[in-house]
Structure 1
Amino acid sequence: MISQSNVRRYTFRGLKAGVSVMCAAVLSACVNYAGIHSDKQLAEPQHYATQQSMPSEGGRWPTADWADQFGDAQLKALIDEALSGSPTIEQARARVASAAAYSEIAKAATLPQADASYSYTRQQFSGTTYVPPPFAGSWQSENKGVLSASYELDLWGKNREALKAALSQLEASEADAQVVRLTLTTAIARSYNQLARLYVLRDIAEQEIAQREQIDRLTAGRIATGLDTEVELKTAQANLATSRAALKAIDGSIVTTRYQIAALLGAGPDRGLQIARPSLGVGDEVRLPDNLPADLVSRRPDIVAARWRVDGLTHEVKSTKAEFYPDINLSAAIGLDAFGFGRFLNAASRTVSAGPAIHLPIFDAGELRAKLKGRYAEFDYAVATYNQTLVTALSEVATQLADIRSTDGQLVDAQTAQSAARRADELALIQYKAGLTTQLTVLNADVTALSADQAVANLTMNRRDQQIALAAALGGGYTDTSDSAGLAATDAAAVSSITSR
């Protein structure tokens, strides 16, 4: 027989073994994300070679009213109208509001919760179960009112990290809204510049029509004197008709550009018909600001948004890791529970409960590990997106600057060519009037002069368009007003904490 001492000894050993097994289960649950990590890092702007492409020129960063440099009051009014009524802006505001609401939900999870409930139930109890007489087999009305409260201790920071992630996403959404504003204002300015281009080309087309009408009249006179034939007359008429068709095409493009601007304003197409001819000036001198590209990361809203998303996913990873640890919830409830209405408010009907609840993930078929892998994949994607956004931003600044410098050089040669072509056209027409040259010479000179005028006009408008694009590439006057300094200081440590093995 087994003695009582042996029984106690075996019982103690069993309890000890059970505790050991439970501790092992806890430890395995706490460390079972081992091996899941990331080695991706945020790129530093100083690591990219930009000294030759983006030299320090002592310039200023664009301001929020950068479009005012062109001296066109109508452009400023159009931008203000778009920012106040465009559906695109309203969409951005709605996304910010959604992110703000989500952050409020995440904050609520870190605070105690309380609620009240009341229920009334009419029920017939079984006469053959655990319900004793006189209730067995009878109908009873149960009244139950309970006031309850709960609080998750959040020992491992799961909810706190989720809140930080939500706040980072809110910051990213606000930066995204600035991206929308900048994109919209840039699109309006560039479309407005395109409208100005079309009006200048229209002026050239009208001058060309006048020129070819004169050639048509001269040709008719030369036919009377026998210097030209019907061939020259029909050629002059064909060229005149072609010039008139080109003018009508430009008029059509002017109308469609007005419609495009109206759509950007969030208005109907008739609003575009009210836009007057642009009167854009040259704009400010183009000089890059110093401390590029380091300051660009806080001047470009798309870079700021990408950085906040990396920060948000850093906290998401930490929150997901905390799910591997036990959850401890404290709950308490007090209320009244009674059969019938007469005894509902009696002290004897009082019911009270309180206590902790512990949840420990031991076996979930790999769900938590898969979830953490997904978070790391999202983190890697966010880091890659940030790095690509930074590279794209640097490329845009360098490209627009190079285009401006190239256009400036082209304009000098184009204006020289224009002056020579115009003089050649004048001389050819004078000689044609005097009967010293043929119509073909006049037409060739006229085509050359027309091309020269169009080239100068297009280069001038291209130069302004590139200047608008450069202002946008430099952030369009945006400055990160969030805690960017604190974010930058914690980026490396935060990323390092979740990328460690």
Structure 2
Amino acid sequence: MKKIIFSLLSVFLFLGCVPNIEKQKVIKDTKIEQEFIEDLNSFQSVNLKLQNNWWRKFEDKQLNSLIENAIKNTPSLKALKQRYAKANSLVKMRKSANLPNIGFGADVSRQRFSENYIFPAPLGGNYYNLYQFGLNLDYEFDFWDKRASLIRASLNEALAQKAYIKVKELSVSTSIAKLYISLNYKNRELEQLQILKKITNEKHHILDKVHKLGLSNRKEINESGSSIEKINQKISDLRIEIEDIKRSIAIISGMMPSQMDKLEKTDIADDYKVFIPKDIHLDILSHRPEIAMQKYLLLSKSAYIKNAKAQFYPNISLNGLLNFTSFPWSSLFNHTSFAPLGAVAFSLPLFDAGKREANLNIKVSDYNEQVQLYNQSVIKAVNEVVNSLRKLELTKSNLKYQDEILKKKNKNLQIEKRIYEIGLNNKISYLNSKLLLQEEILKNISLKDKELNAQIDLIKALGGGYKSERIDVSHN
């Protein structure tokens, strides 16, 4: 009885030897929600859920194919999927440690036994065959979650890898979409520049005729010719930009340059609008895959702290051996050759020169570092959402002003056309109005490009339709 009491007192005394640790705090969700209330509530949007395949709303089959093939076949994403498979294998390996370890062994040896050792004659001084056959059982109890914490750590690391795949998929899809949208509007700009060049050429020919009649000086013709060359320069620069965009799409999509040469004409729907769920600010971080990744890593680091603490506690392990040993083969499986063994081991770590405490401090530092990485990701996410919303609203305002300018320029063109048709003015004035309208059309195309790209930025900021389970890290 005294021995039992002494053992229990030793255990309780030992349990008090785990050092105190200081874990840092994550940013609270309520603080995050408050940052979003004003901006998200003022944003005019239909209360529809942002879907995973948001790009399909652009109604361009070629864009759908580019993004979906990239997500499926891009080598960089395939590499990440292999990392995820590796992480899952590690989870299975650590789970297997929770089960008893059973091993089978068989051994045949021939040996001469010494005459001057513990074996008497006729064993000593002669050669004999020794046959052994047995099953070995090892199991260590997990009273303090030492193994279970490692399993949780591995599981959360695997989930972090899975979320990271979504981070990269979102990056790939939004990058391709933005480039493709720009390609769409660059092609439209190219078409409008050709129209602008045609009008300028027409004006140039009229000025040339007027000059030959002696009704104008050479300056107007030179300025007109200079305008044509500037347009040619813009067309050339635009074609270079289009080729650069194609190459960028090819690199991100994991495609060869020859595949980009087969691209058909883009067909983006101009009326695309991003939809944001109402009250999304109440749970916005669950829609960001990189935040989910950081949360899973935080849970993993917390589990490693649990594992480090468990190493301070005592433990019990079992060992069993079902063994048959015999010199003659014919007697190996007789009951007289049966030599079972059973053992219970009690381990009580007492002194290790600070190794366990240093290990615990390392795990706490890893956790606190991850807290700061999580907090930084949250701050980045909040800023990206707010900035994307404001940028989109400003771009919409600019586009609205530009639409008004276009309407007025178009009205002026109709007036000039009417004046020209009734013979109150020459055609040059009418062509100048057409040129002014054409320049505003080009500005409108550029703003439309910016608007759709701003919507893609907002889609990325909102997580692109990603939805993770709500993960509570505030009490870890």
Q: TM-score with structure 1 length normalisation?
A: 0.81
Distance 1:279 1:258 in 2: 15
Match of residue 16 from structure 2: 31
Q: Distance in 2 between matches of 1:435 and 1:296?
A: 58
- Would you say 1:245 and 2:233 are equivalent positions? yes
The alpha carbon displacement at 1:463 in A equals 0.7
Aligned partner of residue 339 in structure 2, secondary structure: strand
Question: Is this contact kept in 2: 1:165–1:313, CA < 8 A?
Answer: yes
Q: Offset at 1:457?
A: 1.3
The match for 1:43 is: 28
Equivalent residue in structure 2 for 1:54, among 37, 40, 46:
40
* Matched pairs, number: 465
The match for 2:60 among 69, 72, 91 is: 72
**Preserved contact between residue 47 and residue 276 of structure 2 (Cα < 8 Å):** yes
Report matched runs for 1:312-461 at 5 Å: 312-339=300-327, 341=329, 343-418=331-406, 452-461=440-449
Quote the residue 1:107 is aligned against.
95
- Give the direction of change, closer, same or farther, for the CA distance of 1:42–1:375 in structure 2 (3 Å limit): farther
Q: Distance in 2 between matches of 1:225 and 1:127?
A: 135
- For the aligned residue pairs, the C-alpha RMSD in angstroms reads 3.5
Q: Does 2:162 align with 1:174?
A: yes
CA 1:255 to 1:41, structure 2 compared with 1: closer, same or farther past 3 Å?
A: closer
Residue 271 of structure 1 deviates from its aligned partner by 2.0
Q: 1:308 aligns with which of 296, 307, 316?
A: 296
Whether contact under 8 Å (1:45, 1:293) holds in the other structure is: no
Corresponding residue to 1:462 among 446, 450, 458: 450
Equivalent AA in structure 2 for residue 179 of structure 1: V
1:267 paired to 2:252: no
Return the letter of the residue paired with 2:173: T
Cα distance change on mapping 1:374 and 1:28 into 2, 3 Å: farther
Q: What are the equivalent positions in structure 2 for 1:107-126 lying under 5 Å apart?
A: 107-126=95-114
Shift of 1:406: 0.5
In structure 1, give the amino acid aligned to 2:25. Answer: K
Pairwise CA distance, 1:446: 9.0
Q: CA 1:351–1:219 in 2, change beyond 3 Å: closer, same or farther?
A: farther
Quote the offset at 1:93 in angstroms: 2.4
- Counterpart contact for 1:61–1:474, Cα < 8 Å: no
Do the aligned partners of 2:298 and 2:370 also contact (CA within 8 Å) in 1? yes
The answer on 1:217 being equivalent to 2:202 is: no
Amino acid at match of 1:83: I
Cα deviation code 1:364-406 (max 9, x no counterpart): 2222111111111221122222222222222222111111110
3-state secondary structure, aligned to 1:457: helix
- Taking structure 1 as reference, are residues 342 and 194 closer, same or farther at Cα in structure 2, changes over 3 Å only? same
What does 1:485-500 correspond to in 2, within 5 Å? 487-488=471-472, 491-493=473-475, 495=476
Identity over aligned residues, as a percent? Answer: 22
Matched residue, 1:156: 144
CA shift for structure 1 position 231: 5.9
Contact 2:104/2:136, CA 8 A, preserved across alignment? yes
AA of the residue aligned to 2:238: I
- 3-state SS, counterpart of residue 234 of structure 2: helix
1:84 pairs with 2:69: no
Q: Counterparts of 2:145 and 2:77 in 1: how far apart (Å)?
A: 36
Task: Tell me by how many angstroms 1:202 deviates.
Answer: 0.9
Gaps of 5+ in 2: none
Q: 1:194 aligns with which of 165, 173, 182?
A: 182
Distance in 1 separating the partners of 2:218 and 2:130: 111
SS in 2 for 1:155: coil
1:254–1:111 Cα change, 3 Å: same
Q: Alpha-carbon deviations, 1:409-447, whole Å to 9, x = none? A: 11122234445667889969x89x95999xxxx99x898
2:280 paired residue among 254, 267, 292: 292
Q: Distance in 2 between matches of 1:204 and 1:28?
A: 84
CA shift, 1:467, in A, is 1.2
> CA deviation digits over 1:244-277, x for unaligned, max 9?
2322332233233223323333332222222222
Q: CA deviation at 1:124?
A: 4.7
Q: Deviations over 1:321-373 (max 9, x none)?
A: 11111232111111223446455444443332111123322222222111111
Compare 340-349 and 60-69 and name the one that shifted more. Answer: 340-349
Q: If the length of structure 2 is used for normalisation, what is the TM-score?
A: 0.85
The corresponding residue for 1:476 is: 464
Tell me the secondary structure at the aligned position of residue 267 of structure 1: coil
- Compared CA separation, residues 369 and 297, structure 1 to 2 (3 A): same
Counterpart-to-counterpart distance in 1, 2:309 and 2:54: 46
Distance 1:123 1:492, change over 3 A: same
